[in-house]
């Protein structure tokens, strides 16, 4: 099965490169423009590898920063029918989250959601746009188009973002069908998102250097002198957003 997996994976990466090149280029330009203007880049992910892959990594830009929040309610009564409809009650929470965050007009918000149908990614995209931020969606358009939105607008993430990058994940995400198993395995969205974002980051670096702007890049902690180097990189980011 591993050979089949690598064939599927190679096909996925090739499809992304062939079909999403323009969108990734536009994303890189949008991010580079924001960074050059002293604005910030925020990552909001629904748990498919995006924010943990891009943040505080050796060889990565300090400018890519995760936007996270915690919200927990303990109510251990029995489940009731009304609870099944509670998702929409979360609408509007993202208004508070963003206003409590450091997101400002002109910033870039990258929102990752493979299905793009749930309340949080749609709501945060809508709210961020209202606040004047540029919203880039990373989602599976083919998969999402088959689903019904949980948001009251009836919209999905790819329908509300300023720019959409299709991660080309298949419906239900998993790539491999296994004989004798009634469910597919090996999801595409995580590794697709990571590949897309590293490609965008590479182009962002190139665009900034063309403007004589040197972005802050982190070194591996195993590199001699990396602690001091990274400390300076974080300092430079705090002062210039590059």
Residue 87 has a pLDDT of 60
The token pair at 173 is 């995400």
In angstroms, rounded to a whole number, what is the distance separating the alpha carbons of residues 109 and 135? 5
In angstroms, rounded to a whole number, what is the distance separating the alpha carbons of residues 201 and 198? 5
Alpha-carbon Rg for the chain, nearest whole angstrom, is 19
In angstroms, rounded to a whole number, what is the distance separating the alpha carbons of residues 24 and 21? 5
**Cβ contacts of 207 within 8 Å, gap of 6 or more:** 28, 29, 32
Mean pLDDT by runs of 10 across the 242 residues of the chain is 94 98 98 95 85 90 93 82 65 93 97 95 97 98 96 96 97 94 95 96 97 94 92 88 70
184: number of Cβ within 10 Å: 15
Residue 85 has a pLDDT of 59
User: Which residue, 91, 154, 82, is CA-closest to 119?
Assistant: 91
Cα of first residue to Cα of last residue in the chain, in angstroms, is 43
Give all domains of the chain, ordered by start, each with its CATH number.
17-240 (3.40.50.10490)
- Buried b vs exposed e over 1-29: b needs ≥16 C-beta within 10 Å? eeeeeeebbeebbeebeeebeebbebbbe
In angstroms, rounded to a whole number, what is the distance separating the alpha carbons of residues 233 and 167? 30
Residue 81 has a pLDDT of 72
Residue 242 has a pLDDT of 74
163 DSSP β-pair partners = 136
pLDDT digits (tens, 9 = 90+) for 192-226: 999 999 999 999 999 999 999 999 999 999 989 99
Q: Is the pTM of this model over 0.85?
A: yes
The token pair at 208 is 């900034």
Place of tokens 């009251």: 152
The token pair at 213 is 């702007």
- Buried b vs exposed e over 140-171: b needs ≥16 C-beta within 10 Å? bbebbeeeebbbeeebbbbbbbbbbbbbbbbe
The token pair at 168 is 């080309």
């Amino acid at each position: 099965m591993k050979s089949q997996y690598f064939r599927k994976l190679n096909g996925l990466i090739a499809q992304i490169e062939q079909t999403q090149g323009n969108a990734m280029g536009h994303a890189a330009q949008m991010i580079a423009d924001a960074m050059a203007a002293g604005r910030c880049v925020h990552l909001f992910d629904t748990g498919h590898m995006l924010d943990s892959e891009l943040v505080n990594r050796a060889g990565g830009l300090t400018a890519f920063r995760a936007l996270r929040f915690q919200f927990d309610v303990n109510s251990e009564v029995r489940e009731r029918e009304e609870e099944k409809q509670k998702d929409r009650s979360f609408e509007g929470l993202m208004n508070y989250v963003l206003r409590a965050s450091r997101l400002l007009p002109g910033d870039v918000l990258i929102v990752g959601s493979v299905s793009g149908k749930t309340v949080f990614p749609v709501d945060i995209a809508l709210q961020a746009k209202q606040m004047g931020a540029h919203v880039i969606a990373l989602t599976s358009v083919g998969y999402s188009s088959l689903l019904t939105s949980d948001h009251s607008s009836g919209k999905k993430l790819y329908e509300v973002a300023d720019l959409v990058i299709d991660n080309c994940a298949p419906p239900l995400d998993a790539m491999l069908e296994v004989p004798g198993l009634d469910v597919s395995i090996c999801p595409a969205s995580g590794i697709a998102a990571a590949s897309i974002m590293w490609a965008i980051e590479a182009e962002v670096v190139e665009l900034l250097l063309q403007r004589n702007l040197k972005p802050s890049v982190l070194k591996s902690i195993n590199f001699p002198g990396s602690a001091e180097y990274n400390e300076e990189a974080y300092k430079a980011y705090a002062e210039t957003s590059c």
